[in-house]
Amino acid sequence: MEKALRSKKAICFFILPGLILFLLIVAIPIIQSADYSLLKWNGISEGTFVGLDNYIEMFKDPVFLLSLKNSLLLAAASVLIQMPISMLLALVLVNGVKGENFFRNAFFIPVIISSTVIANLWMKIYHPSYGLLNVFFEWLGHPEWKQNWLGSSATVLVACFIPMIWKDIGYNMLLFYSAAKSISSDIIEAAKIDGASKLQISTKIIMPIIIPMIEAVTIFCIVGSLKSFDMIFILTGGGPMHASSVLSLMMYNEIFSSNHYGYASAVAIAIIIICLLFTFGVQFIFKKIMVKYRSDS
């Protein structure tokens, strides 16, 4: 009993620093934001309690609704475009290609490059006068395809999504790759002996086994999209006319441009709630998938 007690003390001792950091960096700021969201406050003078007025105003605000739609579109693009590409690259590498280490590192390079650098690189690609994309279209003999990609509300959203999705493909690919590599080679060899093709091994063996990693990456993609900020901030600042605005960028503008601290805090709480809802939803869906997979096997 005494030994168990000493063990519990040791466990508490090692958990305490992490718990304190969590409270200071995560829990307390969220509680403060929830408190500020009930105020009409400019960040300087004394705030006025307005209850849920900020939340009511938020869902009547066309900029918030547009930002929410753009964030959801980015989340959908991340899950439906970024994840399949990452999965395909991971499966190709796992099945063995010449120069596997080189390609694995090459795909991961965009992840370690600063978002500021990548955003400035793509700004040069999209530039209406000397941008690589417009120059390429002119070289093809189709100058009518040239666009002001970041200056037109018709193209700005796709133009922003492309570098954002491209940047994190290597990160998700490495997660899928590491999960697939952890599968026992005996299982793969047994499937090969039974005559399974590489496609069958990938779809019937590897993908079902790494379902927990697929679940984690899905959550990463959705939550990362809902809290995306830096790339769009540098590329467009949310323009033109809020066409590329997302929730985090709107929150930033409400705080530092409009001094609406109370309203921006309500947006922050909305982002947290939406992220939690999607997280629980994804976990529920994958729990059902796992139950079905185990019952079938």
For 18-31, what is each residue's pLDDT tens digit? 889 988 888 898 99
Which tokens go with 179?
């999960």
- Cβ(104)–Cβ(96) under 8 Å? no
Tell me which DSSP letter residue 45 carries. S
For 94-143, what is each residue's pLDDT tens digit? 887 788 888 888 889 999 999 999 999 999 999 988 889 999 998 988 88
State which H helix or E strand residue 40 sits in.
strand 39-40
At residue 120, the pLDDT reads: 93
- Residue 212's nearest CA partner among 185, 175, 170 is 175
CA-to-CA distance for 23 and 225, rounded, in angstroms?
25
pTM tops 0.85, yes or no: yes
At residue 218, the pLDDT reads: 96
At residue 291, the pLDDT reads: 82
- Cβ(97)–Cβ(236) under 8 Å? no
At residue 162, the pLDDT reads: 94
- Residue 36's nearest CA partner among 222, 244, 267, 274 is 267
At residue 219, the pLDDT reads: 95
State which H helix or E strand residue 48 sits in.
strand 48-49
CA-to-CA distance for 33 and 266, rounded, in angstroms?
7
At residue 9, the pLDDT reads: 76
Under 8 Å CB-to-CB from 183, ≥6 apart: which residues?
205, 206, 209, 210
Q: pLDDT truncated to tens, each residue of the chain (297 aa)?
A: 455 556 777 778 788 888 899 888 888 989 999 999 999 988 888 888 998 999 999 999 999 999 999 999 999 999 999 999 999 999 999 887 788 888 888 889 999 999 999 999 999 999 988 889 999 998 988 888 888 999 989 999 999 999 999 999 999 999 999 999 998 888 888 888 888 888 888 888 889 899 999 999 999 999 999 989 999 999 999 988 899 999 999 999 999 888 899 999 999 999 999 999 999 999 999 998 888 777 766
CA-to-CA distance for 198 and 192, rounded, in angstroms?
8
